[in-house]
Amino acid sequence: MATVNLKINGRDIQAEAGQTILEAARANGIHIPTLCYLKDITKSGACRVCLVEVKNGRALLSACTTPVAEGMEVFTNSERALKGRKNSVELIMSNHNKNCLSCKRNQNCELQTLCEELGVRENKFEGEHTKPTFEDASPGIVRDTSKCVLCGRCIDTCKKVQGLGILGLQNRGFNTKVGPVFDKGFNDVNCMQCGQCVINCPVGALTEKEDIHYVIDALNNPNKTVIVQTAPAVRASLGEEFGMPIGTNVTGKMAAALRACGFDRVYDTNFGADLTIMEEGTELLKRIENGGVLPMFTSCSPGWIRYIEYQYPELLPHLSSAKSPHMMFGAIVKTYWAEKNNIDPKDIYVVSIMPCIAKKSEIKRPECKTGEYVDVDAVLTTRECARLIKCFGIDWEELPDEKFDPDLLGDYTGAGVIFGATGGVMEAALRTVKQKLDGKVLEEVDFMACRGMDGVKEAEVEVGGKTLKIAIASSMTAAKPLLEAVKAGESPYTFIEIMGCPGGCINGGGQSIIPASKKNGRLGYGYKELRMKALYDEDLAMPLRVSSDNPQIQQLYKDFLGEPGSEKAEELLHTSYSQKDRFNVF
């Protein structure tokens, strides 16, 4: 590839032709601050925070949009560049809600960091503020335009990552704001509630709806037995909220912290993941053997479920009817576990710690109930879990490593752990299905073709003397070509895993937020891979790695459910989906 020679701050630099000044600088460890820039998604230069001076240039230029040129001399820290950046930030702050101390993004806000870096201490420009919109009607996302900096990152994320584009700039000039069409709410449009807009917002304009107070009320209610379960991806991100390196596995500390919070039982959703594989795998086999609708789609990602209900309702028969792991777990807690412990289900309160904002809407689905009781009572994101632990005054660094409660629902396999990464559900299903159809213990449990960060992965797997063609996609832009092929009747696949978020749950909308400068820069490059590695490392260390080998799963079927796909299992562990109106804005 052709190279370009230039100087940055007096250093001789070689850059690839076509790179921007920002890309060339970061590739050489030179820091240029940004706000609107998001690698591979947004580089509009709208915020004017990445201004640099180019020798003999008439005006300061935005580093994120200006391509390098042969012989160019760039100054990132000249007096003129620093003054220009500071003015840009001061102007942004002039229309910004400054309730930083009570904001969820306090100490993890990119605008706050810029003010610190550039020495913005005073309100230099005071005056009228744009009339704000505060909207919290949706189950998972809160929008507060008084904190919006008009960077456009949420707009481009929704459009380019999920292919929806429900957000846009409205009005003009001083009255410009970001939101769904006609400034309606997230409930009124075809929003996935995935939360990718939230984790890519640099400030507190978009946040998750907080449910900590409901959980605290339950913990303080002497008549409630409060049970908590944690999704596999949470262990790979929660430590980041306490200053630990990205991708540190904190399974033991997490269990100890939740027990210290006062939960009556601390379990792992991995048990529910193993149970999901039993039901979903059985459903797949029945479809193959009985000429059912194929390819079958996985159904454990609620953001993906919302997407197909809005965008591809004609493909709903392809969805597995299996509930997601945490919903299955909740259903079993309020039936089997309640019966074994002689506790009335109405006195049980189930809390799910999830990497996903869409789980907050999932628990409110009328189809996801067991009799008169909801399967799960409250969902906290990874970030909310950290806030709960801090609220209770627990010293994270001093916590020992503890195990989950062992009784009835405490065992899980490595297959359950990898559910948190894209391709993990497929690999877990293949382990059980292949072992069942081959009729012998699976000697090689690693299906490497299912792993990695590619948006779409495909493979052929020999199972029971048959060749299964499988595909895996994460994010809706990656999934769309697969869906279009199914719609056209041209799909060659038998089984397709689809996750709503790029990389799967490890990059869910409820995970720890990594500032864009670290996400895009050299130090934070590969944050999804680091979280993914934590899950595969735990899987590798597990004594059991095939879901059907879980002894407590076997006991559950023997004592209560009968067999996978039984009438009782269908009643408790399966659900249905229906077409949703794409727009409801008039």
Question: pLDDT tens across 77-120, in order?
Answer: 999 999 999 999 999 999 999 999 999 999 999 999 999 999 99
pLDDT digits (tens, 9 = 90+) for 386-398: 999 999 999 999 9
Reported as a pLDDT band with limits 50, 70 and 90, residue 575 is: very high
Q: Which candidate in 138, 146, 237, 320 is catalytic?
A: 320
Residues with Cβ within 8 Å of residue 329, at least 6 apart in sequence: 229, 267, 269, 271, 272, 275, 350, 352, 376, 409
Q: To 10 degrees, what angle do helices 382-391 and 251-261 make?
A: 50
DSSP 431-470: HHHHHHHHTS--S----GGG-SS-SEEEEEEEETTEEEEE
Q: Is 324 an annotated catalytic residue?
A: no
Assess contact for 563 and 279: CB atoms under 8 A. no
- Does residue 279 carry a catalytic annotation? no
- State the catalytic residue, choosing from 64, 360, 505, 538: 505
For 159-169, write each residue's pLDDT tens digit: 999 999 999 99
Query: What region does 222 belong to: left with phi over 0, alpha with psi -120 to 50, or beta?
Result: alpha
For the question of residue 403 being annotated catalytic, the response is no
**Is 585 or 242 the better-scoring residue by pLDDT?**
242
Structure tokens at 25: 């600088």
Say if residue 139 is exposed, middle or buried (CB neighbours under 10 Å; 0-12, 13-18, 19+).
Answer: buried
Phi, psi of 9 (to 5 degrees): 55, 40
Is the confidence at residue 584, as pLDDT, over 70? Answer: no
3-state helix, strand, coil in the chain (%, to 5): 40, 15, 45
CA 128 vs CA 169, 175, 345: distances in Å: 20, 11, 54
Which of the following is catalytic: 23, 53, 280, 538? 280
Angstrom distance (rounded) from CA 258 to CA 362: 23
CB atoms within 10 A of CB 395: 11
* Strands ordered across the beta sheet of 141-144: 134-135, 141-144, 206-208
Count other C-beta atoms under 10 Å from residue 224's C-beta.
Answer: 16
Catalytic residue among 16, 339, 367, 460: 367
- To the query of whether residue 505 is one of the catalytic residues in this protein, the response is yes
Which of 239, 271, 515 is CA-nearest to residue 389?
Answer: 239
Q: How far out from the chain centre does Cα 416 lie?
A: 17
Alpha-carbon distances of 289 from 28, 43, 259, rounded to whole Å: 57, 50, 45
Q: Is 300 a catalytic residue?
A: yes
N- to C-terminal Cα separation, the chain: 52
Average pLDDT, the chain: 95
Question: How far apart are the C-alpha atoms of 307 and 221, rounded to whole Å?
Answer: 37
Rounded distance between C-alpha atoms, residue 263 and residue 252, angstroms: 15
Q: pLDDT category, 1, cuts 50, 70, 90?
A: confident
| Catalytic residue of the set 159, 359, 434, 457 | 359
283, 384, 427, 538: the catalytic one is 283
Cis peptide before 302 (omega within 30 of 0): no
Using pLDDT thresholds of 50, 70 and 90, give the confidence band for residue 489. Answer: very high
The stretch 269-275 carries a mean pLDDT of 98
Residue 518 in this model has a pLDDT that exceeds 80: no
Degrees to nearest 5, angle at CA 565 with 559 and 570:
90
If pLDDT is split at 50, 70 and 90, which confidence band does 583 have? low
Tokens for 284?
Answer: 């797949």
**Cα→Cα distances 41→108, 148, 219, Å:** 21, 18, 42
Residue 121 is given by DSSP the state -
Active site residue 280: yes
DSSP assignment string, 179-210: ESGGG--GGGTT-----HHHHH-SSSSEEEPP
The pLDDT, as a whole number, for residue 211 is 97
Q: What is the mean pLDDT of residues 65-81?
A: 96
322-372 pLDDT, tens digit each: 999 999 999 999 999 999 999 999 999 999 999 999 999 999 998 888 888
The answer to whether residue 283 is catalytic is: yes
Give the C-alpha distances (Å, rounded to integers) separating 324 from 277, 331, 410: 10, 11, 18
Per annotation, catalytic residue among 362, 384, 497, 538? 362
Asked if residue 519 has pLDDT above 70, the reply is no
How far apart CA 349 and CA 346 sit, in angstroms, is 8
Does residue 372 carry a catalytic annotation? Answer: no
**Segment holding 551, helix H or strand E:** helix 551-556
Q: Does position 290 have pLDDT exceeding 50, yes or no?
A: yes
Calpha distance 254→399 (Å, rounded): 9
Reply yes or no on whether the pLDDT at 306 is more than 70.
Answer: yes
The per-residue pLDDT for 522 is 43
